[in-house]
Amino acid sequence: MRSFQKRLSEFEKRGVHLAAISVDPVERTASHCRKMGYTFTFLSDSDAAVIKRYDVLHRGAGPKSADIARPAEFYVDAGGTVRWVNLTENIAVRARPGQALSAIDTAK
């Protein structure tokens, strides 16, 4: 996510607003964002309602077998249509900002 923060202005130039979603409680999410210097929207989905809706819940994969979100990136247009998805089972493998920007440019 740090790489997305570093290239935030490129997303903003395209009219794209970044948002991250975590199952962590609001307080933990806010603390993490302050510590990491994230300035984009970071939401807490502690009951995993949105995470389940996008079918990215990874049951029992977190600390103490807690449910967490699978690594995933989505480009959702202003009308709410999902235009691009990057899913992985490996927490260490995620889309890079250039990949996402390219997908956004192609979808527009």
Query: What CATH number has the domain bearing residue 52?
Result: 3.40.30.10
What's the pTM? 0.84
DSSP element (H, E) containing 25: none
Domain count for the chain:
1
- pLDDT in the model for residue 18: 96
Average pLDDT score over residue span 59-69: 86
- pLDDT in the model for residue 100: 96
Average pLDDT score over residue span 49-69: 89
> Which residue, 99, 87, 16, is CA-closest to 54?
87
Q: Which residues face 85 on adjacent strands?
A: 74
- pLDDT in the model for residue 39: 96
Handedness of CA 62, 67, 72, 78 (dihedral sign): negative
pLDDT at 91 over 90: no
- pLDDT in the model for residue 61: 84
Q: What domain range includes position 95?
A: 2-107
pLDDT at 92 over 80: no
pLDDT at 69 over 90: no
> In whole angstroms, how far apart are CA 88 and each of 6, 69, 94, 100, 103?
22, 11, 7, 14, 17
pLDDT at 89 over 90: no
> Which residue, 69, 91, 60, is CA-closest to 23?
69
